[in-house]
C-alpha cells in the first residue's frame, strides 16, 4: 500500500472503530474485523481463549450482557468468520509474523476497548460533524483506543508488506479491556509474551505535545480495582431494628478506615472509594452495600501493602456487624520501569521521522495506571526489554471527556516509527 493510501486507510479504520465502540471484554465486532484484516495479510492467528486465561480476566461482564452485545455486534457488521472465537467475550488476538531471517522476537501491544461515556453531540465535535460519532448510546472511544487499533492494523500491513526486510518474529497483541486495567493479565498469564525479546506498548495523546514523542513513559502506579460487597439482614427500622444486620454501617466504617490506611514510607500510595451504594428503603435496615474502590502504589509492593490493609479492614468491618463481605478484584496493574535500551532505539526512529518535531527518551509524568505493565514485567523477568511510548497529538478535549478527539495526522507517523523500530531492532540484533 502506498503511503497516501495507507494514510487514508488508517483514517477509515479509525473512524469505523470510533463509530462502533465496544467496552472491555465486549470488543466482538472490533476483534472480528481486526482478525479479518490480519488473516488476509497472512498472519498466523491465535484467538480468544487460545490467548487468554479465564481466571486472569478481571471485571468481565456477565453472560447475559455479553450475549446481548453479541447480537449488537452481529447487527453492526461484525465479521462473521471470526465471531465465534470472541462470542463469550474473550476478545484477545495474537497475530504472528515469521520473517525469513532469524532474529529476536518483537511484540507490540494494541488495546481496543471504549469507555462508558456518552459522546458529545455538539456541533463543533469533529466525529459529529464528519458523521462518525458513536452509534452505541453511552459508549465512546474517549481515550483513543480506536486510533490504537487502527495504528495496529497499519503496522501489521507495513510489516507484512516488508517482511523480507525484517528479521526474527513479530507478534501483534490485540488486548481487550485496558480500561479498568482488566484485560492484560489474562493474556500475560496465557504466556503470549513468554520468549519475547522486545516489547513495545504505545499510547496516543496523554498530554504529550502534537508531533512529539516520548520513548519511555515511566511512573505508572500499580493499582488494584476492587468491588467490595457487604451482605447483611434487612429489618424494619422502626419496629424491629435489632433484627437487622446493618451493611451500611459496616460500609461507612470501611470507607473511613480504607482512606485512613497508613502511608508507606517507600513511596506514594492512593486509596479511593469512588462509589458507594447501599440499602433499599428509608425505613429498612440496609442489608447490602457495594463499594467501587481502587488502590494504587508507586511500586507493586506498595499497592500490595495497601490492598492487604483494605482486605483486613473489610473483613473487620464485616465482623463488626456480623455480615458477609467479599472483595472482588475487578482490575489490576503493576508498576514497571521501561527498559531504556529499546526506548533509545525508538527515540532514534522518532527523531529521524520528518513529521516528528521532538523526541524525549524518558518521562515520569504519569500518575495513572496501565495494565500493559503485566506484559512489560513478564518480558523483563524473562530477560527481555520492554517500553511504553507515547505519540503526542493535539487533543480536542482531555482523555475520558465526552468531546475527546485526536488529530488524525498522528496515525501514519506512529505506524512508521513503530515499523522502523522493528526494522532497527532486527538490524541491531544481527
Residue 159, number of CB atoms within 10 A of its CB: 25
- What is the C-alpha separation between 157 and 364, in angstroms, rounded? 32
192-231 footprint of a copy of itself as x/- string (CB under 8 A): -----------------------------x-x-x------
Q: Is the dihedral of CA 169, 175, 181, 184 positive or negative?
A: negative
Which residue in 233, 276, 340, 361 binds a copy of itself (CB under 8 A)?
A: 276
Reduce the DSSP state of residue 77 to 3 states and report it: coil
Q: Cell 496523554 appears where? A: 206
- What is the C-alpha separation between 247 and 235, in angstroms, rounded? 12
Instruction: Provide Rg for the chain, Cα atoms.
Output: 23
DSSP 168: E
- State which of positions 321-340 bind a copy of itself (CB under 8 A): 321-322
Contact between 83 and a copy of itself by CB under 8 A: the answer reads no
C-alpha cell at 218: 515511566
Which residue in 68, 135, 272, 324 binds a copy of itself (CB under 8 A)?
A: 272
Question: With respect to a copy of itself, which residue has the nearer C-beta, 114 or 155?
Answer: 114
Asked if residue 363 lies in contact with residue 407, where contact means CB atoms within 8 angstroms, the answer is no
In sequence order, the β-bridge partners of residue 46 are 94
* Least CB distance to a copy of itself at residue 209 (A): 18
Contact between 279 and a copy of itself by CB under 8 A: the answer reads yes
DSSP 319: H
Which residue in 36, 61, 267, 382 binds a copy of itself (CB under 8 A)?
A: 267
End-to-end CA distance of the chain, in Å? 28
Which of these segments, 27-35, 320-328, 340-348, 379-387, binds a copy of itself (CB under 8 A)?
Answer: 320-328
Contact between 316 and a copy of itself by CB under 8 A: the answer reads yes
Question: With respect to a copy of itself, which residue has the nearer C-beta, 19 or 23?
Answer: 23
Which residue in 67, 81, 118, 319 binds a copy of itself (CB under 8 A)?
A: 319
- State which of positions 233-262 bind a copy of itself (CB under 8 A): 237-242, 244, 246, 248-249, 251-253, 255-257, 259-260, 262
Assign residue 181 a region (left: φ > 0; alpha: ψ between -120 and 50; beta: otherwise): left
Contact between 312 and a copy of itself by CB under 8 A: the answer reads yes
Which residue in 167, 369, 373, 387 binds a copy of itself (CB under 8 A)?
A: 369
Contact between 268 and a copy of itself by CB under 8 A: the answer reads yes
**How does DSSP assign 314-376, residue by residue?**
HHHHHHHTT-EEEEEEEEEE---PPPHHHHHHHHHHHHT-TT--EEEEEE----S--THHHHH
Reduce the DSSP state of residue 218 to 3 states and report it: coil
Contact between 283 and a copy of itself by CB under 8 A: the answer reads yes
User: Which residues contact a copy of itself by CB under 8 A?
Assistant: 180, 221, 223, 225, 237-242, 244, 246, 248-249, 251-253, 255-257, 259-260, 262-270, 272-286, 289, 292-294, 296, 305, 312-313, 315-322, 367-369
Amino acid at each position: 500500500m502506498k503511503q497516501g493510501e495507507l494514510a487514508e486507510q488508517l483514517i477509515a479504520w479509525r473512524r469505523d472503530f470510533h463509530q462502533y465502540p465496544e467496552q472491555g471484554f465486549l470488543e466482538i465486532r472490533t476483534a472480528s474485523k481486526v482478525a479479518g484484516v490480519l488473516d488476509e495479510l497472512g498472519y498466523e492467528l491465535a484467538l480468544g481463549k487460545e490467548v487468554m486465561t479465564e481466571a486472569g480476566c478481571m471485571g468481565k461482564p456477565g453472560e447475559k450482557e455479553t450475549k446481548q452485545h453479541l447480537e449488537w455486534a452481529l447487527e453492526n457488521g461484525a465479521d462473521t468468520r471470526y465471531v465465534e472465537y470472541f462470542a463469550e467475550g474473550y476478545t484477545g488476538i495474537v497475530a504472528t509474523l515469521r520473517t525469513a531471517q532469524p532474529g529476536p522476537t518483537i511484540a507490540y501491544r494494541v488495546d481496543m476497548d471504549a469507555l462508558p461515556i456518552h459522546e458529545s453531540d455538539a456541533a463543533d465535535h469533529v466525529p459529529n460533524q464528519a458523521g462518525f460519532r458513536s452509534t452505541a448510546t453511552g459508549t465512546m472511544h474517549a481515550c483513543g483506543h480506536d486510533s490504537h487499533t487502527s495504528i495496529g492494523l497499519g503496522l501489521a500491513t507495513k510489516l507484512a508488506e516488508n517482511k523480507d526486510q525484517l528479521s526474527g518474529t513479530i507478534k501483534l497483541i490485540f488486548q481487550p479491556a485496558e480500561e479498568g486495567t482488566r484485560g492484560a493479565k489474562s493474556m500475560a498469564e496465557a504466556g503470549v509474551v513468554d520468549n519475547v525479546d522486545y516489547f513495545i506498548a504505545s499510547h496516543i495523546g496523554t498530554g504529550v505535545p502534537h508531533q512529539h514523542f516520548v520513548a519511555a513513559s515511566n511512573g505508572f502506579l500499580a493499582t488494584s480495582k476492587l468491588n467490595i460487597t457487604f451482605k447483611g439482614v434487612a429489618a424494619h427500622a422502626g419496629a424491629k431494628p435489632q433484627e437487622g444486620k446493618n451493611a451500611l454501617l459496616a460500609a461507612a466504617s470501611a470507607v473511613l478506615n480504607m482512606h485512613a490506611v497508613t502511608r508507606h514510607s517507600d513511596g506514594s500510595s492512593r486509596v479511593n472509594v469512588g462509589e458507594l451504594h447501599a440499602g433499599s428503603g428509608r425505613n429498612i435496615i440496609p442489608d447490602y452495600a457495594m463499594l467501587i474502590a481502587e488502590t494504587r502504589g508507586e511500586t507493586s509492593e506498595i499497592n500490595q501493602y495497601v490492598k492487604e490493609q483494605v482486605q483486613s479492614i473489610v473483613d473487620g468491618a464485616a465482623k463488626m456487624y456480623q455480615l458477609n463481605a467479599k472483595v472482588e478484584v475487578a482490575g489490576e496493574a503493576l508498576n514497571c520501569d521501561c527498559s531504556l535500551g529499546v526506548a533509545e532505539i525508538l527515540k532514534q526512529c522518532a527523531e529521524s521521522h520528518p513529521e516528528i518535531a521532538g523526541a524525549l527518551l524518558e518521562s515520569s509524568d504519569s500518575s495513572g495506571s496501565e495494565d500493559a505493565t503485566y506484559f512489560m514485567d513478564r518480558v523483563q523477568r524473562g530477560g527481555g526489554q520492554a517500553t511504553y511510548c507515547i505519540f503526542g497529538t493535539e487533543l480536542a478535549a482531555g482523555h475520558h471527556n465526552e468531546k475527546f478527539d485526536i488529530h488524525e495526522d498522528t496515525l501514519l507517523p506512529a505506524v512508521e516509527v513503530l515499523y522502523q523500530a522493528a526494522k532497527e531492532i532486527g538490524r541491531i540484533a544481527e
